């Protein structure tokens, strides 16, 4: 075996191992707890409890144009862009309310209360308590984009409607993985139900 083919083989093995490691690490990140109320063929009905989020508003309804700007703004807050220069653990998923403008939220770790969280340095960040909500949720793999989010949102809404369940509000996109994770990617679209 030549040195080049040996190097390529080792590189491929290391890449695959790193992807499995990232998938394992993603599964250990704190996520909001929910109760599964009912599993349908195409979606799940979930009850989420109250949570605290750091949220920013991006003046766009496009996933591609709002995801990186919104992410950077909120990530700056948790990486120390606050009055205490305090780092806050990343959780998953990153939640995007896909209306006429996009609201991007990071769920704060459950160890924090409204009183214990530092004040954001940016006036583009708001710390909010979200009341308990019931969602219909559809999971899909791979990388997300506008086309996929539209496709799975349409599928979710049609499935929920066929079950006679009433919805309200905007579609929520929930992304669970870092951009460099290729294997084991998980995304969800959700809609609040009555």
pLDDT at 89: 94
Where residue 113 sits, what CATH number does that domain have? 3.20.80.10
d(CA 125, CA 145): 24
d(CA 145, CA 126): 26
- Residues above pLDDT 70, as percent of the chain: 87
Instruction: Convert the pLDDT of each residue in 95-137 to its tens digit.
Output: 999 988 999 999 999 999 999 999 999 999 999 999 999 999 9
Handedness of CA 178, 180, 184, 189 (dihedral sign): positive
Domain housing 64 = 3-193
Instruction: Convert the pLDDT of each residue in 55-97 to its tens digit.
Output: 999 988 788 777 788 899 999 999 999 999 999 999 999 999 9
Total count of domains within the chain: 1
pTM, entire model: 0.83
pLDDT at 64: 78
């Amino acid at each position: 075996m030549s040195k080049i083919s040996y190097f390529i083989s080792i590189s491929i093995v290391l890449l695959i191992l790193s992807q499995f490691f990232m998938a394992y690490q993603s599964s250990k990140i704190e996520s909001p707890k929910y109760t599964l109320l009912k599993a349908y063929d195409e979606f799940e009905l979930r009850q989420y409890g109250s949570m605290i989020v750091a949220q920013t508003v991006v003046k766009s309804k496009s996933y591609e144009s709002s995801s990186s700007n919104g992410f950077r703004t909120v990530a700056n807050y948790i990486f120390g862009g606050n009055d205490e220069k305090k780092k806050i653990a990343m959780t998953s998923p990153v939640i995007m309310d896909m209306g006429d403008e996009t609201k991007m939220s990071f769920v704060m770790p459950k160890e924090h209360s409204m009183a214990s969280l530092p004040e954001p340095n940016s006036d583009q960040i708001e710390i909010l308590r979200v009341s308990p909500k019931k969602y219909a949720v559809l999971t899909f793999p791979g990388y997300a984009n506008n086309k996929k989010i539209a496709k799975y949102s349409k599928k979710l809404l049609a499935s929920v409607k066929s079950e006679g369940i009433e919805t309200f509000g905007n579609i929520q996109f929930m992304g669970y993985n870092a951009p460099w994770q290729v294997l084991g990617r998980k995304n969800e679209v959700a809609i609040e139900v009555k």
